[in-house]
Amino acid sequence: MYARTATAAAAAAALMGAGALLMSTTDTRTTTTVTAGHTSTVTGIRTVSARTDDTKPDAPVVFAHRGASAYAPENTLAAVDKADALGFDWVENDVQFTRDGVLVVVHDTDLKRTTDVEEVFPDRAPWAVKDFTAAEIARLDAGSWFGPQFAGTRVPTLKQYLDRIERNHQNLLLEIKSPEIYPGIEKETLRVLGRKGWLDRNHVKHRLVIQSFGADSVKKVHQQRPDVTTGFLGTPAVADLPSYAAFTDQINPSHTSISADYVKAVHALKGAHGKKLRVNTWTVNDAATAAKVAGFGVDGIITNTPDVVREATG
């Protein structure tokens, strides 16, 4: 999904204050993630969309895209913590393989935009994630590009990321990035999730969704762990939706590609777990668009500015 620039992120930060006022003053999440007596449902997952007392019962669940990436460097632990501080339970991330087979949390298939890799390794063009070891990537500064206050921020491994969101009691919308260049990434992702305790009944039922732009990748996850909720990133033709419903639980399209009729067509079908197919749309960063897609009936909104979306829809 398209990334915001640091300049745009800084401008968006001015919007943060109003959204922050909507935070609950206490965090009373339980294993069923019910807070303030209000829950939302996404593909059988019960969770608060944001910890407030005045959220509309039918408001879309808000997903913090790459963490609260308008306010902290995307896909870092700082962005996860910012989402938590703003009161958001769901975070979205991207996983890729290093050269030595470690899963790291980073969006682009190269490291140029969000790290200082060109300075640290000037002779390693084109600086693809898959060409660096985990130890080499751990040396990179993944925060200075966003702002000097984030200097020294690191690219987290998936294990480190899972530890942090577990500590924060957050939930995960995990994207398998570019699976066509990472053979076996689905199996390894599930292995790491399992070793970190994320494939037990509670996590699988309430706290985890795995998605990808690759239909074959989503199918592999569904085949290897049929109990895991899955999502397909894209906008299949209405005529093709039944074939996707056989292996996924969510159709997650760009907000520019949908209408109320399209959302209705998705909702008319049952997904791989026998429940209504859901729609989580991306990447919505302004109040007007958030209100528009909420009017379409989407189930969730993926956003860099979760506080702005919450205020517009909740």
Cα separation, 129 vs 19, whole angstroms:
35
Cα separation, 85 vs 97, whole angstroms:
29
Q: What is the pLDDT of residue 54?
A: 52
Q: What is the pLDDT of residues 93-141, one digit of tens each?
A: 999 999 999 999 999 999 999 999 999 999 999 999 999 999 999 999 9
Question: For residues 85-111, b (16+ Cβ closer than 10 Å) or e, as one string?
Answer: ebbbbbbbbbbbbbeeebbbbbbbbbb
Q: What is the pLDDT of residues 20-46, one digit of tens each?
A: 333 333 333 333 333 332 333 333 333
Question: For residues 254-284, b (16+ Cβ closer than 10 Å) or e, as one string?
Answer: bbeebeeebbebbbeeebbeeebbbbbbbbb
Q: What is the pLDDT of residues 141-194, one digit of tens each?
A: 999 999 999 999 999 999 999 999 999 999 999 999 999 999 999 999 999 999
Q: What is the pLDDT of residues 241-256, one digit of tens each?
A: 999 999 999 999 999 9
Q: Which residues are catalytic?
A: 65, 107
Report pTM.
0.84
Amino acid at 22: L
Sign for the pseudo-dihedral over CA of 278, 169, 155, 100: negative
Q: Does 215 have pLDDT greater than 70?
A: yes
